[in-house]
Structure 1
Amino acid sequence: MANIRHNLTITASTKQVYDAITLENGLKGWWTQEATAKPEEGNINHFKFGDEYFNEMKILKLNPPNQVHWECVDGDKEWIGTNLSFVLEERDGITFLKFSHLNWAEESEFFGFCSHHWGRFLDSLKSLCETGKGQPFIK
């Protein structure tokens, strides 16, 4: 199995970062403006990137404001069955984010592409939380 991992610091409270990861308006602010999301365990959130690409994430676990766990249940065939987690820890007003996208079948070319884009989108999350403006996917 192959795994993507990114760690970063965000100068914002864990609640602020957690809300950006779980609330529809937050997700639209840093990942994709075409998001349908509800922060409830068992809910399936839908994320669209243009006319043909999408992913659906089932919320496996929410532990406010420290953990979010998803499983991809539909969308890109390499994503289906993978697990994503956002683990947050606040120290002195700074949030430490540990992001993981786990259980890829292999380190394919697409895996590398996604790892790069996760880094870009996590920088967008950081920017949203620190400045109020992210750089989400816009159709």
Structure 2
Amino acid sequence: MEKIEHINYIKAPISKVYEALTTREGLGNIWTTDLTVQNEVGAISDFGFGKDDRVLMKITELMENTRIEWLCTDSDPEWIGTGVSFELFERKNGITAVVLKHFNWRELTEFYQWCNYNWAMFLLSLKDYCEKGEGLPYQEREF
């Protein structure tokens, strides 16, 4: 099994980073503006990326200001059954460390590599949103 793993440091309180990762407003500013999000374990969040590209994520874990985990229930076949987690750690001077993992990939493919790059872009968008008030959702990116 393959796993994508990134870390980024954000100059913002841990509560602000957690909120960005668990609310419609936050995820709409950092990942995609086409979304339906519920902030409770067992709920399915729906993320849209273009005309027919949808990602359904079941929330499997929510530990306030600590950890978020999703299970992909529908998307590209390579994503179905994979998990995405965000672990948050408070550092000195108001810095929050975010560890993003996308795990249970069946194999390392070209799509895996492209997603690896895009998760790094996601973390940069999260950083900009939390620090500057403006992220870069899918609809505003150039590909």
Which position in structure 2 is the counterpart of 1:105?
Answer: 106
Taking every aligned residue pair, what percent have the same amino acid on both sides? 42
Q: 3-state SS of the aligned residue for 1:87?
A: strand
Which position in structure 1 is the counterpart of 2:68?
Answer: 68
Q: CA deviation at 1:63?
A: 0.2
Rounded Cα–Cα distance in structure 2 between residues aligned with 1:103 and 1:8: 21
Q: Which runs of 4+ in 1 moved over 4 A?
A: none
Q: CA deviation at 1:73?
A: 0.4
Which position in structure 2 is the counterpart of 1:78?
Answer: 78
User: What code does the residue aligned with 2:106 have?
Assistant: A
Rounded Cα–Cα distance in structure 2 between residues aligned with 1:47 and 1:71: 13
**Partner deviation per Cα, 1:79-122 (whole Å, 9 max, x = no partner):** 00001100001122100111100000100010000000111111
- For structure 1, the 5+ residue unaligned runs are none
Normalised to the residue count of structure 1, the TM-score between the two structures is 0.98
- For structure 2, the 5+ residue unaligned runs are none
Which position in structure 2 is the counterpart of 1:14?
Answer: 14
Alignment of 1:1-139 (within 5 A): 1-92=1-92, 93-138=94-139
Q: CA deviation at 1:59?
A: 0.2
